[in-house]
Amino acid sequence: MPMKALGSAAAVLCAAFVAATVQAAEALPDLGPAQPFALATAAGGRLALAELRGKVVLLAFIYTGCTDVCLTETAKMVTIQNRLGADFADKVHFLSVTMDPEADTGDALAAYARRFGARAQGWTFLTGTTDEVRRVARNYGVAFRKGSGTEVEHNTLASIIDAAGELRVQYMGVEFDPDEMLADLRGLVREGAGH
């Protein structure tokens, strides 16, 4: 194949790849406006979801005493954080809300974040009263209740909110593919840059 034809074929393939990537992001449904909330940060401040407008937000629910799914979900989020590179913090922000606000003090949440290597610039751990946290969780499809001892019984659901404040996709359980979530986050970053 002549060089000119090879270059043309490569350009067509590249354009098809870019179009498919953009189309995948456009294929994410718009599930409606993300429910507003404001909770206390592990550092002692307060953060409202509205303050993150302009960034793509990944919202997850954890508790520091969890011995299984929360650990897996947080570890996958750290992998995604690292793979986002320069987009992390600048264009994408992670929120982890505790489901055990009585036990998860600011210090406990900060230690949990350090344990996993969650970067404070771009990842906020949130808490509040049990009623506040329960209301936020319910608005995002998460149910939890205190079990025996330190256990919290809960489902696992992570939500992605786009830069315009619209809920776009939810991942059930911890079996989600980090590559798929990463592609969805990047696609929404590109989508936000186009508006």
pLDDT tens column, 111-162: 999 999 999 999 999 999 999 999 999 999 999 988 877 787 888 889 999 9
Measured CA to CA, the distance from residue 56 to residue 185 in angstroms comes to: 7
Global pTM exceeds 0.75: yes
pLDDT tens column, 47-99: 999 999 999 999 999 989 988 888 889 999 999 999 999 999 899 999 999 99
Most confident of 7-16, 22-31, 152-161: 152-161
Of residues 20 and 168, the one with the higher pLDDT is 168
pLDDT at 46 over 90: yes
Measured CA to CA, the distance from residue 95 to residue 122 in angstroms comes to: 9
DSSP letter string, 122-156: TEEEEE--HHHHHHHHHHTT--EEE-STT-EEE--
pLDDT value at residue 149: 78
pLDDT value at residue 48: 99
Determine contact, residues 178/190, Cβ cutoff 8 Å.
no
